[in-house]
Amino acid sequence: MELHTFTLRNNLRPRALALFETLLAYCGTGLEEPELIREDERQAVRFRARPGADVAQIRRLMESAAERARREVEAPTKVVFEVQGAQGAPPDRHAEVIGRECVAIEEGLYIFGPAFTRLMRALDQVCLGLARRLGAQEYTVPAYTTWEVLEASNYVRLFPQHLTFGHVLEHDLDAVERFATARSREEQQSMTRPSPLVMLPAACLHCYTLKRDQRIDDPLLMTVVGHCSRYEARRMTYPGRLWNFHLREIVYLGSLPGAAAFRRQIVDELSALAGQIGLPCRLESATDPFFTSARAGLAFYQHASDLKYELVGALPGGDRSLAIASLNYHQQHFSQSFNLRDGAGELLHTACLGFGLERWAYWLLSHLGDDERDWPEILRDGQAPAV
């Protein structure tokens, strides 16, 4: 494959450059191995194109990505707390364990082994303990939501790149027979049709759906584990970025001061938890992956209004990190979408805390390995008692 170079018109500042790098994943299916380089002090992308790919179109998309990145507001990241932890660890510290415990079966799809599973289970016990201390009740939710819910919440227009849509066969004996005897996968794929279902991209959507159009007199706390899906195309290069993952959420529905108090309490809890675990991480301001042309305004507003924080764990070696939890204040966005009101008819304020369970397990396993004796005390109870 021929090597190409795309040179940016103007150099981007650090935050904009990071966004540009993310957006490279959305610069066409023909793009291969894009790599950020410097040429004569100017930022550039060196890339390959698949045979038959439209290189001019790839360049046009890169120009468009640079344009979006250029409008990114260069506000400083706010750090709420930081744990230094084991900074000097080599990056491949437990590479053998990771290889054994995280087996890829497809882009972004892994089967995780017994030690990984014990860590997830232990961590979810910690989350559930926190949820119960806060007074949350637990619900069971499907791995799908509906087009209608995603439209009502505007998710479908804000984050369309994440969505995985559920298609099915016509429920008809003839169609079933034709499908079963078709000659190729392509022929079979042409027989499916859209259903009302979309894979769940965020667990808390189910909480608002359940309480839709209801008067909620007293503040409400709910907790769920959503088996969530976010398609991230070519960004899904390692077990820290999955197409499908378990998201434990604790959701608050109530007043403005209640939402603020919830957030303060969660910050304290996260800080205590991070301290007990003692690995390098920090709670910092963040923005959502808005990738449409509406991004600049939305991300700026989110940052300026202090709406989103992420607990970011550094991986061994310190070069890479991943968001393992996020704390979000939605103001009245979801209560408007789902008509959630208090006894006086006022729109509620909502907030949520989400733990990406596989990401936690990956972060912990990368630092600590699979010998339970090396794990922090609070995570050693993964082997729940057999009944």
The interface with its own copies within residues 268-287 (CB under 8 A) comprises: none
- Nearest Cα to Cα of residue 356 among 239, 266, 277: 239
Q: Using CB under 8 A, which of 6, 47, 110, 360 touches its own copies? A: 110
3-state secondary structure of 208: helix
Q: Using CB under 8 A, which of 18, 111, 260, 304 touches its own copies? A: 111
Question: φ and ψ at 106, to 5 degrees?
Answer: -175, 165
Which one of the spans 32-40, 45-53, 111-119, 298-306 is the region binding its own copies (CB under 8 A)? 111-119
CA-to-CA distance for 204 and 360, rounded, in angstroms? 19
Which one of the spans 230-238, 280-288, 328-336, 348-356 is the region binding its own copies (CB under 8 A)? 230-238
CA-to-CA distance for 34 and 43, rounded, in angstroms? 13
Which one of the spans 11-19, 102-110, 280-288, 325-333 is the region binding its own copies (CB under 8 A)? 102-110
CA-to-CA distance for 186 and 105, rounded, in angstroms? 21
Among positions 155-214, residues that touch its own copies (CB under 8 A) are 156-158, 160-161, 163-174, 176-177, 179-181, 185, 188-189, 192, 194-197, 199, 206, 209-210
Position 2, amino acid: E
- Nearest Cα to Cα of residue 255 among 327, 328, 335: 335
- Nearest Cα to Cα of residue 170 among 148, 190, 184: 190
CB 319 within 8 A of CB 237: no
Q: Which is nearer to its own copies, 104 or 304 (CB)?
A: 104
Smallest separation, CB 232 to its own copies (Å):
8
- Nearest Cα to Cα of residue 210 among 137, 263, 259, 266: 137
Quote the radius of gyration of the chain (alpha carbons, Å). 22
Q: Using CB under 8 A, which of 6, 243, 309, 329 touches its own copies? A: 243
For its own copies, how many residues bind (rule: CB under 8 A)? Answer: 98
Per-residue x/- marks for its own copies, 39-68, CB under 8 A? ----------------------x--xx--x
Question: Does 104 interact with its own copies (rule: CB under 8 A)?
Answer: no
Smallest separation, CB 372 to its own copies (Å):
14
Q: Which is nearer to its own copies, 5 or 293 (CB)?
A: 293
- Here the tokens at position 344 are 């006086």
CA-to-CA distance for 24 and 26, rounded, in angstroms? 5
Among positions 134-163, residues that touch its own copies (CB under 8 A) are 137-147, 149, 151, 156-158, 160-161, 163
Per-residue x/- marks for its own copies, 290-329, CB under 8 A? -xxxx-----------------------------------
Burial of 296 (0-12, 13-18, 19+ CB in 10 A): middle
